[in-house]
Amino acid sequence: MGVDPIAIARAVYYNVSEGEIVTGGSTITQQLARNVLLSPEERAQETLARKIREAVLAVELFRRYPKNTILEIYLNQIYYGNLAYGIEAASQTYFGRPAADLTLAEATLLAGLPQSPAVYDPFTDPEVARTRQRVVLNLMVEAGYITPAQSVAAYQETLQYAPPLTQFEAPHFITYVRQLIETRYGPDLLYHEPGIRVQTT
């Protein structure tokens, strides 16, 4: 039986802070405003004007949408590592199946990745990823979303990772090209259907 990874991530975030959620110095609403509503050129600016615009947009998002909706949109566009943006892409990348089919163990592992995808990458350091998963499970127990027994069972589950979708000879170059395209043409071109195919030399 699958679990709702969005609900799991939501439980973790809500347990971290009451009221507005904060990660990395910005609220999730501010990060969403920056990543979705500002142009790539505006996002690159480190000016007071950009920060004020971001704050105004965040307030408007917060007024128009419930927290659950804001969090769901955020989780569906943030980076989970290994070129996976959004929970569905992360589920396919790490476990080779839809997010709706994840177990509690798999979903909690994914819920821990956005904080630092490179550090908690289960392909490169599965033990560090499992340590972060344990934190997520403990937070869920503390918040009353799961029982201690469910937490123990999930942590003891042996995770079967999908083979990496592709092996890149130059992953840093791929990231560089992706950032160039996103800056010039915006994220929609890269991350929404039909997408694009890029060939470099």
Structure tokens at 150: 């469910």
Q: How far is CA 20 from CA 13, 54, 64, 83, in A?
A: 10, 16, 15, 28
Domain positions in the chain: 5-156, 168-201
0.75 exceeded by pTM: no
For the segment(s) 5-156, the CATH number from 2.60.40.1180, 1.10.3810.10, 3.40.50.1950, 1.20.120.1780 is 1.10.3810.10
Q: Per residue of the chain (201 residues), give pLDDT as tens.
A: 344 555 555 555 554 444 444 444 577 888 888 888 888 788 888 888 888 888 889 889 989 999 889 988 888 888 898 889 899 999 999 999 999 999 999 999 999 998 888 899 999 999 999 999 999 999 999 989 999 999 999 999 999 999 986 666 676 777 778 778 777 776 666 665 566 778 877
